[in-house]
Amino acid sequence: MSWQGIDGHDAIATRLAAAASCGRIGGAYLFIGPPGVGKGMFARTFAKALQCAAAGETLSTCGRCASCLQADAGSHPDIDLVAKPDDKATLPLELLVGDDEHRMRDGLCWRLLLKPSLGSRRVAILLDADHLSVEAANCLLKTLEEPPPGAVLILVGTMLERQLPTIRSRCQIVRFAPLPAPVVAAILRRLSDDGRIPRITDDTLADIATRAAGSIDRAVQLADPALADMRLRVVDLLGRRPLPGVELAREVLAAAEAAGKDAAPRRQRLKLLLESAVDFHRAALRQCVTEESPPDSALARAVSDWAGTPEEASIALRHTLDAIEAVDHNAHLPTLVEAWTTALERPHFSRLF
Ligand SMILES: [Zn+2]
């Protein structure tokens, strides 16, 4: 059983349905969880269920009423959705309160105040809550402090630590866990059968589902054969002593640039390659401490070749996590890759980002 076809989050659906059945839907929710576990999809479906004319106490949707049809088409007049544009580091203020010429006469906060035109309430979804500037968060605070009657605002972010305390304290926090590997495998199988991703053999499927760490986004990327080769190459280079930093920088940057002309796919590709480095450093650290080899054979081979100290592994891991954060903050990619590989070559130097 899965709520509205969304796998893995039935407990959250049950909790929200219980609140709906006694008329206690909150004015503001903060959905928190790792990327690629279905928070955005859940938020859209929750918004659709809040609007469905026939929705009962289970927060189900009929899929046939005018409200459901418009929600599915993304054109529901009472459901608002904003997300950070790919070329911006933060969520632009005008998406919340209108541009300079229309300040407080446009944007998500303003539309939330309007009377609903089709349903009985207005619902707004703000994706990328991790990327709210302080100024934008302050604008949002006014809405959170005095929410319009019946309106529901859903913020979606990845980590509680990345949200301002003022926002956190005004929202009901809903935590999304990584998806269990069998759920990832089942979703991946469906995507493969539907031809939406390359065909996957059963053996590869189980391996990808285990390595995806509960994220469908990650699983889909892992299922890309070209990317899988690049990840193996990164892991192989990281296992060498001394680290071939120049080669690593050149290959990682070339792989990121091969993802397309736009910045967004390049950043996403670079993040995935950096994540494979995180896997490597974590496995290296684990092996130092527990002498436990990772289940992935390529990773196990590279880690056993590496033979560094736990301290080196933990410093390298921190540098790589910093690099991933810098990608999220739109750092200049060639400079970032250069700084990252230099930091890995000299792991005892202080933080470079
Ligand atoms: Zn409906």
Distance 215 CA to ligand 1 centre (A): 29
Is 199 inside a domain boundary? no
Q: Is residue 331 a part of any domain in this protein?
A: yes
CA of 145 to the centre of ligand 1 (A): 30
* 76 CA distance to ligand 1 middle (Å): 12
- d(CA 313, ligand 1 centre) in Å: 53
CA distances from 318 to 50, 307, 313, 321 (A): 42, 18, 9, 5
Strand-by-strand arrangement of the 123-126 sheet: 79-82, 123-126, 152-157, 28-32, 172-175
Residues 153 and 236 reside in one and the same domain:
no
Domain check: are 159 and 17 in the same one?
yes
Tell whether 63 is covered by a domain: yes
**Euclidean distance between CA atoms 303 and 188, whole angstroms:** 28
> Which value, to the nearest 10 degrees, does the dihedral of the CA atoms of residues 111, 113, 118, 123 take?
70
pTM of the full structure: 0.79
Token couple for 156 = 């979606």
**If you measure from the C-alpha of residue 49 to the centroid of ligand 1, how many angstroms do you get, rounded to a whole number?**
7
Would 185 be classed as within a structural domain? no
If we measure between CA atoms, which residue out of 226, 227, 309, 211 comes closest to residue 271? Answer: 227
Q: State which of 175, 207, 241 marks the end of a domain.
A: 175
Residues 252, 153 share a domain: no
Residues 229, 170 within the same domain: no
Gap from CA of 54 to ligand 1 centroid (Å): 5
Classify residue 205: in a domain, yes or no: no
How far is ligand 1, taken at its centre, from the CA of residue 226, in Å?
Answer: 42
Q: How far away, in angstroms, is 68 Cα from ligand 1 center? A: 4
Statement to judge: residues 168 and 245 lie in one domain: no
Distance 138 CA to ligand 1 centre (A): 35
CA of 58 to the centre of ligand 1 (A): 13
DSSP 3: B
The CB density around residue 189, as the number of other CB atoms within 10 Å, is: 14
Instruction: Indicate whether 189 belongs to any domain.
Output: no
Distance 52 CA to ligand 1 centre (A): 4
Q: Do 138 and 261 lie in a common domain?
A: no
In terms of residue numbers, what domain contains 86?
A: 10-175
78 domain-assigned? yes
- Asked if residues 43 and 56 have their Cβ atoms less than 8 Å apart, the reply is no
Q: Are residues 57 and 170 in the same domain?
A: yes
14 with 151, same domain: the answer is yes
Render each residue's pLDDT in the chain as its tens digit; 353 residues.
Answer: 688 889 999 999 999 999 998 889 999 999 999 889 999 999 999 999 999 988 767 788 999 999 999 999 999 999 999 999 877 888 999 999 999 898 888 999 999 999 999 988 999 999 999 999 888 999 899 889 888 889 999 999 998 988 999 999 999 999 999 999 999 999 999 999 999 998 888 888 988 898 888 999 889 888 888 888 898 999 999 999 899 999 999 999 999 998 888 777 788 889 989 999 999 999 999 988 887 777 777 888 888 888 888 999 999 999 999 999 999 887 899 999 999 999 999 866 555 55
φ/ψ of 45, rounded to 5, equals -70, -35
**Separation in Å, CA 122 to CA 16, 28, 51, 99:** 17, 12, 8, 22
CATH number at 157 reads 3.40.50.300
Q: Are residues 299 and 153 in the same domain?
A: no
Number of domains in the chain: 2
235 and 170 within one domain: no
